[in-house]
Each structure stands twice: as C-alpha cells, then as structure tokens.
Amino acid sequence: MAIYFQFPFCHQVCKHNEDKTSTFAEILKFMEQKRTEVNELGEFGLIKHLTHSFENKNATSIKGVGDDAAIIDAGDDYLVVSTDLLMENIHFDLTYAPLKHVGYKAVVVNLSDIYSMNAIPQQITFSLAFSNRFSVEALEELYAGVKLACDHYNVDLVGGDTTSSLKGLLLSVTAIGRVPKSQVVYRNTAQVNDAICVTGDLGGAYLGLQLLEREKQVFLANPNMQPQFDNNTSLIKKLLKPEARKDIIEALAKADILPTSMMDISDGLSSELMHICAQSNVGCTIYEEQIPIFEDTYNQAIQFEIDPLNCALSGGDEYELLFTVHPDELEKVLDIEGVSHIGNVRPASVGKHIVTKGGNQYELKALGWTHF
C-alpha cells in the first residue's frame, strides 16, 4: 500500500466533488487490491494507456499525443508544440556536465522535435526547480547556456516558471514552432519504396557517455587522477552539447524537397525507425555498410569492446534526423552535405530488417533508450 493514500479522512473531501465516479474510500480499497508496476507497460505503452480515453474537442487541435510534437491551427500556418522534462541524475549528471551545457542542451533537444516536424522553432518557455545547493551564479551559468541556444537558433524565451525543489535540478522546456500547413511532415506517412535517410553520424553520444562515466568512476576513486580522453572529445561534445539539425531543414527547403516522414533520433535509430514503420504501416530494409559511423566512434567502440553497429542502432541522445523521401528525390537529397541513404521502405508484410556487411539479414529490434 503506497503511503500517499493512507490518510483516512480524504474521502470526506472526495464526497464533496461533483464527480461521483470514486470516493476516496473506494480508491483506497482499489489501491489495496492491485498494484501494476509501470515498467510492465514501458514508456510508450504507459502514455497510450493513460491517454487513450482523451478525445480532442477543439477544431484547432490538429494533432495530439503520438508524434514528436503537437499541432495547433494558426491561420495559414500550423503551430508545433513540443515539451520535455529533464531531471538531474537521470537526464544529466552535474559531476561532468557544466550547467551552461545543460541549459544549452535542454533547449536543443526540444528544438530538435520541432525541426523534425519540418517546422521552424520561434519560442520556448523554460521552467526550473532547484534545491538550495544552487546559487544565483550557478543559475546564471544555466541561463547563459539557454541564451546561447536561443541566439544560435533564433528562438525567443517567452515564459517559464521558477520554483524550489527538495533535491536536485529539474528543467521543463516547451518549444513552439511554425510551419506552413502544406509543409508539415509527420512520422506516419512513409510510403513503400521511399528512401530512408539519416543525417550526421550515429553512436557518438553513447560512447561519449561511456567515456564520461568511466572517467567519473576513476575520479571518484582518486580525485587527483587526470582524465584520459585520448583525443575523443568529439564524442563527449556530442553528448554534452548536441546541436539540432536546423541546417538540414533549411537545406531541404532550399532544394524544394519535402520528406514523406521524419523524426529525430533521440531514442536511437532502430527504435525511431520502428516507430515510423509501425505508424506508417510499412516495413523497411537498412544496410549496415550505409549507416554513418565516424572513425572516432568506431575506434572507441572497438576499444570498449562494443559492436560499433550496436552503438549506431541503439545509442540515444543523438538529435540527428531520420526521414524518408520519394525515390525520385534521392539524388537531390544526397547532394545535401551530411545526409546518408541507409535503406528503403518496404511493404509491412516483408518486415523490418538490417543487412550486415557480410550479407546476412536480421530482424530489426528496437533497443532504444528506456527511462524506466
């Protein structure tokens, strides 16, 4: 029995509600009978379970829970709204992440969701809760990072909330973007035979995290040890100060290419590709040799005795874009610097596969990040 329902007099309050569906005594009884753990459902299953009974009532609510961002009607344009919670010691570790980077990254990860709908972010709200461990100077560093991101991405800080927490730092960012109605790109509209593309390179942020965690342990054991990064700071930078792919969205617009579906790779390539396939009701084949892995990433993975391909398929926190285009557009897309063609959309009946360098075909598994 969870402690938060132990107060026996609360049913007196519940009785005064207009809502007759449950008195507190009934809730109490119910809670004693049953306790389902959240990890039985997983993150996406949980959200689906908790929100399936909600129905949109306003004509201005174009798209709700289920894509990278929500969509709201705004005349000729759609407004695209995305929100993220970032918790200390779950999403960031202040042992090695400077507060300025934490502020920068908190903004960037939200902007990435806006870009992945093919929209241009214009506003953010930034809320924080912090314990008395944080001084004004520490918060100034955090906001310096927020400002750097706002300036770099041409976004305005228009609101937020500030409160105390009993322990640790907690950030909540909501980003708002804008896109002409005809240009919005969803994740459920990939078509069979479309080319599957990704931007940048994959797996670096995951290895950056492994490096920092290793050196953190060394440091905790002996604070006088100097860290060993072996010139791998590019991996660490990818983790601590990622960028959203504004440049790609601009290049696609300039080349007059509208992806048929798109999302960002915050939870890992495999996991995100499986979302696109499931929601578009299609399958896919991707090819190991076409997945972009940088030399630094490859070498560090080998040093850690991890398969570099697994880093690229399952490593989260990347913020690269995964998108599909009509096969006729492929040549034009590949003229954009930093875009790789990794495979093709197939009929759902064919399934979802990866073909290795050795020519073997395996079923693609979602090994994305899970918070639970």
Touching a copy of itself, residues 222-241 (CB under 8 A) = 223, 226-227, 229, 233-234, 236-237, 240-241
User: Please, what is the angle between helix 233-240 and helix 295-303, to 10°?
Assistant: 100
* Region of 23-31, 273-281, 293-301, 328-336 interacting with a copy of itself (CB under 8 A): 23-31
Interacting residues with a copy of itself between 267 and 326 (CB under 8 A): none
Under the binding rule (CB under 8 A), the answer on residue 122 touching a copy of itself is yes
What DSSP string describes 109-172? HHHHHHHTTT-EEEEEEEEEEE-TT--HHHHHHHHHHHHHHHHHTT-EEEE--EEE-SSS-EEE
Between 31 and 306, name the residue whose CB sits nearer to a copy of itself: 31
Interacting residues with a copy of itself between 145 and 164 (CB under 8 A): 147-148, 150, 154-164
Interacting residues with a copy of itself between 184 and 223 (CB under 8 A): 215-216, 219, 223
Interacting residues with a copy of itself between 57 and 96 (CB under 8 A): 57-58, 60-61, 63-65, 69-72, 74-77, 79, 81-85, 87, 89-91, 94-96
β-bridge pairing 282-287 and 352-355: parallel
What DSSP string describes 286-352? EEGGGS---HHHHHHHHHTT--HHHHHHH------EEEEE-GGGHHHHHTSTTEEEEEEEEEGGG-E
Coarse DSSP helix, strand, coil percentages of the chain, rounded to the nearest 5 percent: 40, 25, 35
In the bound complex, what is the minimum distance in angstroms from residue 122's beta carbon to a copy of itself? 4
Between 142 and 333, name the residue whose CB sits nearer to a copy of itself: 142
User: Rounded to an integer, what is the distance from CA 262 to the centroid of its chain?
Assistant: 13
* Region of 18-26, 272-280, 328-336, 348-356 interacting with a copy of itself (CB under 8 A): 18-26
Which of residues 20, 29, 38, 201 is near a copy of itself by CB under 8 A?
38
Overall size of the chain counted in residues: 372
Nearest Cα neighbor of 294 from 343, 233, 229, 250 is 233
Between 196 and 236, name the residue whose CB sits nearer to a copy of itself: 236
Interacting residues with a copy of itself between 332 and 371 (CB under 8 A): 371
- Kindly write out the interface string for residues 168-187 of this chain, putting x where it contacts a copy of itself by CB under 8 A and - elsewhere: x-x-x-x-x-x---------
Nearest Cα neighbor of 102 from 164, 46, 145, 134 is 145
Total of chain residues touching a copy of itself, rule CB under 8 A: 128
In the bound complex, what is the minimum distance in angstroms from residue 217's beta carbon to a copy of itself? 12
